[in-house]
Amino acid sequence: MRVQRLFRQVTKTPLGKNIPKEKREPIDYSIVLDFHNIENNTPENRELIIDCTENVTSKEFEFNKDTEFYLHPKEWKVFGLKGYPGFYFIRSPFTPQQQKKWIKHGLEHYASPPNNNNLNLFYGPVHNLWEERPLDKNGERLPTYRALLDKLAWATLGYQYQWTPRLYTEEFYEEFPDDLQELVQKIAVATKFDPYVAEAATINFYSEDSIMGGHLDNAEQEMEKPIISISFGSTAVFLMGAETRDIAPVPLFIKSGDIVIMGGRSRYCYHGVAKIVEDSFNLDLIDENDSKDLKYKIKWLKEKNRRLNINTRQVFKEAKLGGKLNDK
């Protein structure tokens, strides 16, 4: 993906010396498609944007109400991308308060045992990533497991994806969270991908220097159902590629709360994250009145321009959800 290079900042001099952040050559984001600011797009990108809001939100959904987890669907703004039938972009359908609910869940439950994460591989199950530790012998409070938190890169829900053999097996299954299931099933109804059962999810934790190389998600037996991807925190430049690597991808911004649905053709396309935009953390998430715990998590996200991405998949053609669906 050559486009990827456009978002790579030069951080070192030719002699290998670090260039301080404020002295680095700024990145030019003008070619990045922005669903939040339609008028500001280049004419080429403007051509690619299809407003699907009417089609999606004028329907009478049985869930036509706001909840503590998302806004009323009539407030949703939904877009498609020309040439990618089955791709949808929902502009954040969450208030800052609702975004924080998902962030809290993501950081507390989704990233903790029995769900697998990248830390477990080295350190065994870490149950208390966020907890304050007991006072030390001088009565000083020890910090949280900061060093470990800094290394948190991914967690898995439902059928636990096995990264090395690149597969899911029925034996590695953990309960899929109901709130997330509920949300993505509503999104699937709205975008006509129902029935949809999220059987697995990956949670990705990005920080200011993270990228995700171009890849295909094709370990799922069921490829006709979309990947539903929800992000919080800082803004990413996402690259929506094609079926082969030699076709240039479309770069687009994903901001805090935005939802990307990769169904249809886009389900078979390469994609990746080229850049976490500098100083792009969603400042609406900062609220002095929040609990101490929540403020700590938000501060942790903001300090390294972090981004939390949750993406769900249906794994089996006949959804099994760990045997749960057969019990009914």
The rounded radius of gyration (Å) of the Cα atoms in the chain is 20
> What token pair was written down for 149?
């938190």
When binding is defined by CB under 6 A, the residue of 156, 181, 234, 311 that contacts ligand AKG is 311
Q: Angle formed by the axes of helices 96-105 and 292-303, to 10°?
A: 90
Q: Which is nearer to ligand AKG, 206 or 300 (CB)?
A: 206
204's contact among Fe ion, ligand AKG, none, with CB below 5 to 8 A by partner kind, is ligand AKG
Q: What is the dihedral of CA 220, 34, 59, 266, to 10 degrees?
A: -20
Closest CA to 188 of 266, 103, 259, 254: 259
Q: Are the C-beta atoms of residues 280 and 253 closer than 8 Å to each other?
A: no
The pattern of x and - marking residues 258 through 277 that bind ligand AKG according to CB under 6 A reads -------------x-x----
212's contact among ligand AKG, Fe ion, none, with CB below 5 to 8 A by partner kind, is ligand AKG
> What token pair was written down for 281?
């953390």
Q: Which is nearer to Fe ion, 217 or 293 (CB)?
A: 217
What residue number has its CB nearest to ligand AKG?
309
305 binds ligand AKG (CB under 6 A): no
229 binds ligand AKG (CB under 6 A): yes
Q: Which is nearer to ligand AKG, 103 or 273 (CB)?
A: 273
When binding is defined by CB under 5 A, the residue of 66, 217, 222, 278 that contacts Fe ion is 217
Beta carbon of residue 198, minimum distance to Fe ion (angstroms, whole number): 15
Q: Give backbone dihedrals phi and psi of 238, rounded to 5 degrees, phi first.
A: -95, 140
When binding is defined by CB under 6 A, the residue of 27, 212, 223, 286 that contacts ligand AKG is 212
> What token pair was written down for 170?
């029925």
Which DSSP helix (H) or strand (E) runs through 47?
Answer: helix 43-48
Binding residue count for Fe ion, defined by CB under 5 A: 1
Distance of CA 7 to the CA centre of its chain: 19
Q: Which is nearer to ligand AKG, 57 or 229 (CB)?
A: 229
Beta carbon of residue 313, minimum distance to ligand AKG (angstroms, whole number): 9
DSSP 264: G
Q: Are the C-beta atoms of residues 253 and 235 closer than 8 Å to each other?
A: yes
DSSP 283: G
Q: Which is nearer to Fe ion, 126 or 212 (CB)?
A: 212
The binding site for Fe ion (CB under 5 A) comprises 217
